[in-house]
């Protein structure tokens, strides 16, 4: 999955520089822009083949929405320009050894909401008319988010199928603003909104404190070897074998083979991110200053105090309180309890049959 095309043009880069400080004020650590053209042929081909091999497992919506993902006009007919944003979340492992673990991205408030709120805040600061405010997306529309993050120069595509942002690794949420103005129209508008010295401040606001780190894949194969389900192959990630898919999206039973792979993971799996050398400076806090994570994404003390016994005895009420406004709601109470039972034992574990329609 290496594509060494120049990700953004000089015009795109110039527009970005103007907007970086606004994005930084909203908490984003990277922003990029591109023309909203249909996605590149190599990517649509790659994605079609990935679907055809069945690697999307039970995510039928990905099959249904595949044609829509090729062109952003399916999401916003008047779109001209797309902005991609990255917002960091907790990188260090917050749970103690021996405790059950929830994937880092799901520790706090639901990222779909938080990221879109921040994109809307960003847009509101540009002083645009209501008809020019376009649409904010974060895993909420058929948008090929990793493709656009790469295309806009926000991050690099890694072999573990994730996007890494320089200085922040893969511990970031991606979101997009679909903008109905062309880059030229937007530049002209910004000329009237922001004073000239903006450009220099902009460079400062986002680069300050972030030492450059490696952000491109070393193709070292560590993610592939460490993956508990053997889900990472030369043909990309296979959701059918991925614990993140199986513990979050999969409805139904979890076979004994999966529960043996789970270890302490009861919701998601961060192993391919944890072993990746691109993430090591961030995980070890070496060469990079601590990342200011939006407090919405921090785990509650109640969540961190949960011992395996507490999880086994989790009641519906407790579940609701622990995960109010959280992305964990996606697995539902029954789904989470299925995972907890699976992490505790090796037998086939009965789950919930009800399929969920997403997005
Ligand atoms: S572990 Fe190695 S091969 Fe895998 S994504 Fe990271 S750098 Fe690339
Ligand atoms: S999330 Fe876990 S199971 Fe899924 S590909 Fe990464 S290491 Fe493998």
What are the pLDDT digits (tens) for 297-330?
Answer: 999 999 999 999 999 999 999 999 999 999 998 8
- For residue 8, the model assigns a pLDDT of 75
Mean pLDDT of 103-123: 97
Mutate to test the pocket of ligand 2, among 240, 243, 268 (most ligand atoms within 8 A of CB): 243
What are the pLDDT digits (tens) for 132-149?
Answer: 999 999 999 999 999 999
Mean pLDDT of 170-175: 97
Tell me, using a 6 A CB cutoff, whether residue 263 lines ligand 2: no
User: Could you tell me the pLDDT band of residue 351, with boundaries at 50, 70 and 90?
Assistant: low
Percentage of the chain exceeding pLDDT 70: 88
Ligand 1 atom, smallest distance to 162 CA: 5
Give yes or no for a contact between 81 and 185, defined as CB atoms under 8 angstroms apart: no
Mean pLDDT of 237-249: 97
Q: Kindly report the number of other CB atoms within 10 A of residue 248's CB atom.
A: 20
Percentage of the chain exceeding pLDDT 90: 78
What are the pLDDT digits (tens) for 196-241?
Answer: 544 544 444 444 334 445 678 999 999 999 999 999 999 999 999 9
Rounded CA separation 328/210 (Å)? 31
User: Could you tell me the pLDDT band of residue 82, with boundaries at 50, 70 and 90?
Assistant: very high
Is the model's pLDDT at 354 over the cut of 50?
no
Please tell me the number of the ligand nearest to residue 279's CA.
Answer: 1
- For residue 102, the model assigns a pLDDT of 97
Is the model's pLDDT at 359 over the cut of 50?
no
User: Could you tell me the pLDDT band of residue 357, with boundaries at 50, 70 and 90?
Assistant: very low
Task: Give the global pTM.
Answer: 0.91
Lowest-confidence pick of 18-32, 221-235, 318-332, 344-358: 344-358
Sequence ranges of the domains in the chain: 10-207, 222-277+299-344
**What CA–CA distances, in Å, run from 6 to 3, 9, 349?**
9, 8, 48
Nearest CA to ligand 2 atom 6: 272
| Three-state SS letters, the chain | CCCCCCCCCHHHHHHHHHHHHHHHHCCCCEEEEEECCCCCHHHHHHHHHHHHCCCCCCCHHHHHHHHHHCCHHHCCCCCCEEEEEEEECCCCCCCCCCCCEECHHHCCCCHHHHHHHHHHHHHHCCCCCHHHCCEEECCCCCCCHHHHHHHCCCCEECCCCCEEECCCECCEEEEEEEECCCHHHHHHHHHHHCCCCHHHHHHHHHHCCCCCCCCCCCCCCHHHHHCCCCCEECCEECHHHCHHHHHHCCCCCECHHHHHHHCCEEECCCHHHHCCCCCHHHHHCCCCCCCCCCHHHCCCHHHHCCCHHHHHCCCHHHHHHHCCCCHHHHHHHHHHHHHHHHHHCCCCECCCCCCCCCC
Query: Whose structure tokens read 């961190």?
Result: 304
Tell me, using a 6 A CB cutoff, whether residue 219 lines ligand 1: yes
Lowest-confidence pick of 78-92, 94-108, 128-142, 205-219: 205-219
Rounded CA separation 353/359 (Å)? 19
Mean pLDDT of 264-278: 96
CA of 45 to the centre of ligand 1 (A): 23
Q: Is 265 exposed, middle or buried (0-12, 13-18, 19+ CB in 10 A)?
A: buried
Cα–Cα nearest to 56, from 128, 125, 65, 82? 65
- For residue 14, the model assigns a pLDDT of 84
CA of 170 to the centre of ligand 2 (A): 13
CA of 221 to the centre of ligand 1 (A): 6
């Amino acid at each position: 999955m290496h594509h060494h095309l120049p990700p953004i043009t000089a015009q795109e880069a110039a527009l970005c520089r103007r907007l970086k400080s606004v994005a930084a004020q909203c908490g984003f650590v990277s922003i990029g822009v591109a023309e909203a053209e249909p996605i590149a042929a190599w990517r649509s081909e790659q994605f079609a083949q990935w679907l055809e091999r069945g690697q999307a497992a039970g995510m039928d919506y990905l099959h249904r929405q595949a044609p829509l993902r090729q062109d952003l006009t399916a999401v916003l007919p008047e779109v001209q320009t797309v902005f991609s944003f990255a917002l960091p979340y907790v990188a260090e492992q917050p749970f103690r050894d021996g405790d059950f673990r929830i994937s880092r991205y799901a520790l706090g408030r639901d990222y779909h909401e938080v990221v879109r709120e921040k994109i809307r805040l960003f847009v509101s600061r540009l002083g645009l008319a209501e008809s020019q405010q376009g649409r904010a997306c974060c895993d909420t529309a058929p948008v090929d988010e990793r493709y656009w993050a790469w295309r806009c120069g926000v991050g690099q595509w890694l072999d573990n199928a994730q996007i890494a942002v320089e200085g922040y690794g893969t511990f970031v949420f991606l979101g997009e603003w679909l903008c109905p103005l062309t880059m030229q129209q937007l530049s002209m508008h910004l000329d009237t909104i922001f004073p000239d010295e903006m450009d220099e401040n902009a460079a400062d606001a986002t680069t300050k404190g972030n030492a450059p780190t490696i952000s491109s894949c070393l193709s070292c194969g560590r993610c592939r070897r460490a993956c508990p389900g053997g889900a990472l192959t030369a043909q990309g990630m296979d959701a059918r074998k991925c614990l993140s898919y199986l513990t979050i999206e999969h409805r139904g039973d979890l076979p004994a083979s999966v529960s043996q792979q789970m270890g302490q993971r009861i919701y998601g799996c961060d192993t391919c991110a944890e072993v990746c050398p691109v993430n090591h400076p961030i995980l070890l806090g070496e060469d990079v200053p601590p990342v200011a994570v939006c407090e919405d994404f921090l785990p509650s003390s109640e969540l961190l105090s949960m011992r395996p016994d507490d999880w086994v005895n989790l009641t519906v009420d407790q579940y609701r309180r622990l995960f109010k406004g959280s992305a964990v709601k996606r697995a539902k109470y029954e789904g989470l309890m299925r995972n907890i039972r699976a992490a505790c034992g090796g037998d086939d574990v009965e789950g919930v049959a009800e399929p969920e329609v997403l997005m």
